[in-house]
């Protein structure tokens, strides 16, 4: 599908070779749920809007659409990745001179597609307790192109734990989620060839911000600049191609459990997904069999182990 490129100036400009002049009113509506864009916490990226004199292009992708904003000189300003339901699940922001400086992610609940009357696709079964060693799943994984060049030490904002959860058990489940990647624990029996170092530093009172400390905790998604109904948000701060800090917040307004129950999200499973983002892995949109599948579901503990793509990606990247 041919990309539509709209160049926004103060008056009018040509949008393509042979195209007629168009005003800024012809520019497409930009997504309004870009994670953390324009938020007020320290290190938050700027608002997702076309730079003065810049441009926006919209490309149809296998998962939905990609919005690319550029400065007047043609350099990248920001990219937002939107799913088929119009929800932004990732965004990348660029400095004018040094390239990427922050990539943000937000995880939405899975939206089930209508199923044919005669069958229900296995890709849309609400309860995803489906991984067994005999099938293992798809080998899909996606690298952001950024990574840690040394080990990571992370901290738990224990005071943010919702009242219905045991702080001690939640701490254990968060540690398990990180250890899943550290040990490359997977459904497939794939050996751990990763040398990535990951250490738990203990509990902290530090909040969600670019403050030199990697934190995990719960919080109000509106305070992170993430969309309504989002399960979790993760920000990764970048220097060149090196991740230098990452923070994750799980939504305090959802029903959480350390385990499995109808209508509740498993802390371990969800934080395993966010930890993948912390490590520099993108979402995948075509494989429910991997922890990095872009949407989350309740009543499921399948992500307490990595899928084939997750495990292979972990070994290849680190």
Residue-wise pLDDT tens digits, 162-195: 999 999 999 999 999 999 999 999 999 999 999 9
Interval 245-254: pLDDT, tens: 999 999 999 9
Shared domain check, 170 and 298: yes
Identify whether residues 67 and 140 lie together within a single domain: no
Same domain, 219 and 173: yes
Residue 86 lies in a domain: yes
Domain assignment of residue 104, yes or no: no
Selected residue with higher pLDDT from 154 and 133:
154
Residue 151 lies in a domain: yes
* Residue 113 belongs to a domain: no
- 132 versus 60: the higher-pLDDT residue is 60
| pLDDT score, position 100 | 87
Please choose, from the candidates 118, 100, 134, the residue with its C-alpha nearest in 3D space to the C-alpha of residue 240: 100
Same domain? 142 vs 59: no
- Does residue 103 belong to any structural domain of this protein? no
Are residues 150 and 34 both part of a single domain? no
Mean local confidence (pLDDT), 98-127: 64
Task: Please indicate, yes or no, whether residues 305 and 158 belong to a single structural domain of this protein.
Answer: yes
Assigned domain for 199 exists: yes
In a domain, 105, yes or no: no
Task: Answer yes or no: do 226 and 313 share one domain.
Answer: yes
* 47 shares its domain with 172: no
Taking 50 as the threshold, does the pLDDT of residue 90 lie above it?
A: yes
pLDDT digits (tens, 9 = 90+) for 14-37: 333 223 223 345 789 999 999 999
> What is the pLDDT, as a whole number, of residue 122?
39
Co-location of 293 and 209 in the same domain: yes
What domain count does the chain have?
A: 2
Kindly state whether residues 88 and 155 are assigned to the same domain.
no
Q: Give 233's strand partners.
A: 106, 249
pLDDT at residue number 78: 98
Cα(233)–Cα(28) distance, rounded to whole angstroms?
26
pTM for the structure as a whole: 0.86
Shared domain for 143 and 25, answered yes or no, is no
**CATH at 274:** 3.40.390.10
Domain limit, last residue, from 55, 81, 97: 97
Segments forming the whole domain that contains residue 223: 128-317
Q: Tell whether 108 is covered by a domain.
A: no
**Is residue 39 domain-shared with residue 149, that is, in the same domain?**
no
The structure tokens listed for 271 are 């934080």
CA–CA distance, 187 with 190 (Å, rounded to integer)? 8
């Amino acid at each position: 599908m041919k990309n539509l490129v709209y160049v926004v100036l103060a008056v009018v400009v040509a949008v393509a070779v042979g195209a007629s002049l168009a005003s800024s009113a012809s520019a497409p509506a930009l997504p309004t749920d870009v994670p953390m864009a324009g938020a007020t916490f320290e290190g938050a990226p700027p608002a997702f809007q076309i730079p003065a004199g810049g441009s926006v292009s919209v490309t149809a992708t296998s998962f939905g659409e990609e919005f690319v904003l550029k400065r007047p000189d043609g350099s990248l300003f920001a990219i937002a990745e939107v799913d088929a339901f119009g929800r932004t699940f990732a965004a990348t922001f660029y400095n004018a001179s040094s390239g990427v400086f922050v990539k943000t992610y937000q995880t939405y609940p899975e939206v089930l597609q209508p199923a044919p009357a005669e069958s229900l696709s296995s890709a849309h079964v609400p309860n995803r307790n489906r991984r067994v060693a005999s099938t293992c799943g798809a080998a899909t994984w996606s690298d952001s192109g950024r990574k840690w060049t040394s080990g990571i030490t992370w901290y738990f904002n224990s005071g943010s734990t919702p009242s219905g959860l045991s702080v001690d058990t939640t701490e254990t489940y968060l540690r398990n989620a990180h250890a899943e990647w550290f040990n490359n624990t997977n459904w497939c029996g794939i050996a751990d060839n990763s040398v990535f170092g990951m250490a738990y530093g203990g509990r902290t009172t530090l909040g969600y911000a670019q403050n030199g400390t990697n934190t995990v905790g719960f919080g109000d998604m509106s305070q992170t600049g993430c969309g309504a109904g989002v399960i979790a948000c993760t920000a990764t701060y970048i220097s060149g191609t090196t991740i230098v800090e990452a923070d994750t917040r799980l939504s305090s307004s959802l029903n959480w459990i350390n385990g499995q129950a109808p209508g509740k999200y498993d802390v371990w499973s969800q934080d395993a997904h966010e930890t993948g983002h912390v490590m520099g892995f993108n979402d995948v949109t075509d494989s429910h069999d991997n922890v990095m599948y872009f949407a989350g579901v309740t009543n499921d503990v399948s992500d307490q182990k990595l899928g084939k793509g997750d495990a292979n990606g972990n070994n290849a990247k680190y």
